[in-house]
Amino acid sequence: MSQQKITINDVAEAAGVSVTTVSLVLSGKGRISPATTARVNEAIEQSGYVRNRTAAALRGSASGVIGLIVRDLSQRFYAEMTAGLSEALEAQDKMLVLTQSGAQGQHLARCFESLVAQGVDGVVLGGDAGNGAALATRAAELGLPLICASRASYLEGTDSLRPENALGARMATEYLIRQGHQHIAWLGGSGASLTRAERIGGYCATLLQYGLPFKPEWIIECEESQKAAAEATTQLLQRHPRLTAIIAANTATALGGYFALLRSGRTLGQGAVDSYYAQQMALVGFSDEPQANLSDPPLTFVCSPAREMGRAAAARILLRLSAPETASQHMILTPSLIGGDRVR
C-alpha cells in the first residue's frame, strides 16, 4: 500500500500557518519572522514533505514572473492595458500571469494570495483600488512590489497610474465649442462610475468657463449598448430639439447615437452654423482603443491611453524591482483626440 503524498496544505496545517506563508518560506521571499520560518521548516522535516524543485530554484532569486489582477478582462480598457503590460514585460524577458477577481472584485484577496503562492516578483492591480488598501498592507508585509493601474481611482502609498479623465472631457467639449456649438449634451455611462463623474466634471467646467448654458437634463444616463444609446438619443432630441452636439461616454454609446441620428433624418456634421435648420448634429465619443472610421464623415473620439498605461506600469514595476527604495509615484496619462486623419 503506497504512502499518501504529503502536500503543502498538510505542512501549513501542521505549522499553523497559511499556504502562502509556507510558499514564501520555501522560496525564501517575503518578510517572514525567524520563529515562523523555523516552525514551517520543522513541519516540513517531520512530515517528510518533498520540496518543490521550482520553489527551491527560486530561493534567493527572481522568478521573472509578474502577476496581474483585473476584475473582468472583457472590459476593453483593461484588455488594452493588459496587452501593453504584457508586451513591455516580454520585451524584458518577463512573464505575465493573469487572474480575474470577479465583477465586484469579490475574489481580490484570493487572487493576490494565489499569485504570492506562485512566487511572483510583483503584482499589478488593474483597477479596484477602492478595495486595494488591504492588499497594499499585505504586499508591504511581504516586501512585494505592488502597482495600481486604474481607469479612475488610485491607491495611496503605492505607485499608481491612471488617465486624466477630466482633461479628456475638456478636450471633447472644447473641440465642439471651437466648431461653434453652444448646446452640447452628454450621453451614457453609469451614475456609479467614478470615470463618468470625472469626465462630466470636466465637461461642465468647460461649458461654464466659456459661459455656455449647462442643464442637468442634458446629461443622460444609459446602459453601455448601441440599442440603449439609440433609444436615449431619440428621446433626448425629441425633448431638446435645439441641441447641436452630443458627447458619448463610450464607443457603443457613440455608435448607438450615430444610428439614432440617421434614423431621425439628421446627418453627422461638425460645424454648428445652421445645424438646427440643416438637421445636422456633431458627435464625439470616448474610446479605449483607436477606432476605424466606419461613418461618413468619420466620428471623432477621445482615446484613453490604456495600452500606454500598461507599458508604463511594466516600466514602473521593473524599476521597483531593481530599486525597491524608490519613492512611490502617482502618474497621470494624457488622452488623445482623434477625428478622421487628425490626432491631437
Q: Per mean pLDDT, which of 17-21, 27-31, 284-288 is the most reliable?
A: 284-288
- Asked if 138 and 81 count as a contact pair (C-beta separation under 8 A), the reply is no
Q: What is the pLDDT of residues 285-339, one digit of tens each?
A: 999 876 555 555 678 999 999 999 999 999 999 999 999 888 889 999 999 998 7
Indicate which CATH number applies to the domain containing 25.
1.10.260.40
- Sequential DSSP letters for 57-119: HHTTS---EEEEEES-TTSHHHHHHHHHHHHHHHHTT-EEEEEE--TT-TTHHHHHHHHHHTT
Residue 34 lies in a domain: yes
Residue 212 lies in a domain: yes
C-alpha grid cell, residue 262: 440617421
State whether 78 and 30 are in the same domain: no
> CA–CA separation, 203 vs 166, rounded Å?
7
Q: What is the pLDDT of residues 160-180, one digit of tens each?
A: 999 999 999 999 999 999 989
Q: What is the pLDDT of residues 217-250, one digit of tens each?
A: 999 999 989 999 999 999 999 999 889 999 999 9
Indicate which CATH number applies to the domain containing 129.
3.40.50.2300
State whether 156 and 173 are in the same domain: no
Rounded to two decimals, the pTM is 0.78
Residue 196 lies in a domain: yes
Q: Which domain holds residue 45?
A: 8-58
How deeply is 29 buried, as exposed, middle or buried, from its count of CB atoms within 10 A (0-12, 13-18, 19+)? Answer: buried
State whether 246 and 312 are in the same domain: no
State whether 114 and 194 are in the same domain: no
Reported confidence tier of residue 34, pLDDT bands at 50, 70, 90: confident
State whether 140 and 180 are in the same domain: no
- Asked if 260 and 248 count as a contact pair (C-beta separation under 8 A), the reply is no
Residue 248 lies in a domain: yes
Residues in the chain, overall count: 344
Q: Before 297, cis peptide (omega within 30)?
A: yes
Residue 147 lies in a domain: yes
Q: What pLDDT, on a 0 to 100 scale, did the predictor assign at position 319?
A: 94
Residue 154 or residue 184, greater confidence: 184
Residues 6+ apart with CB under 8 A from 133: 155, 156
> CA–CA separation, 247 vs 159, rounded Å?
32
State whether 152 and 210 are in the same domain: no
SS (H, E, C) 254-270: HHHHHHHHHHCCCEECC
Q: Per mean pLDDT, which of 67-71, 153-157, 275-279 is the most reliable?
A: 67-71
State whether 171 and 159 are in the same domain: no
Residue 340 lies in a domain: no
C-alpha grid cell, residue 157: 502609498
Q: What pLDDT, on a 0 to 100 scale, did the predictor assign at position 298?
A: 76
Q: End-to-end distance of the chain based on CA atoms, in angstroms?
A: 73
Strand order in the sheet with 159-163: 95-100, 65-70, 122-126, 146-149, 159-163, 330-333
State whether 92 and 104 are in the same domain: yes
User: Among all chains, which residue has been given the C-alpha cell 443622460?
Assistant: 220
State whether 88 and 149 are in the same domain: yes
Q: Per mean pLDDT, which of 55-69, 75-89, 260-274 is the most reliable?
A: 75-89
Question: Around Cβ 222, how many Cβ atoms within 10 Å?
Answer: 24
State whether 254 and 280 are in the same domain: yes
State whether 156 and 188 are in the same domain: no
Per the structure, the count of domains in the chain is: 3
CA dihedral over 145, 149, 155, 160, signed as positive or negative: positive
CA dihedral over 53, 54, 55, 57, signed as positive or negative: positive
Residue 338 lies in a domain: no
> CA–CA separation, 137 vs 240, rounded Å?
51
State whether 72 and 43 are in the same domain: no
Reported confidence tier of residue 59, pLDDT bands at 50, 70, 90: very low
Residue 339 lies in a domain: no
> CA–CA separation, 197 vs 186, rounded Å?
12
DSSP 191: T
C-alpha grid cell, residue 134: 488591504
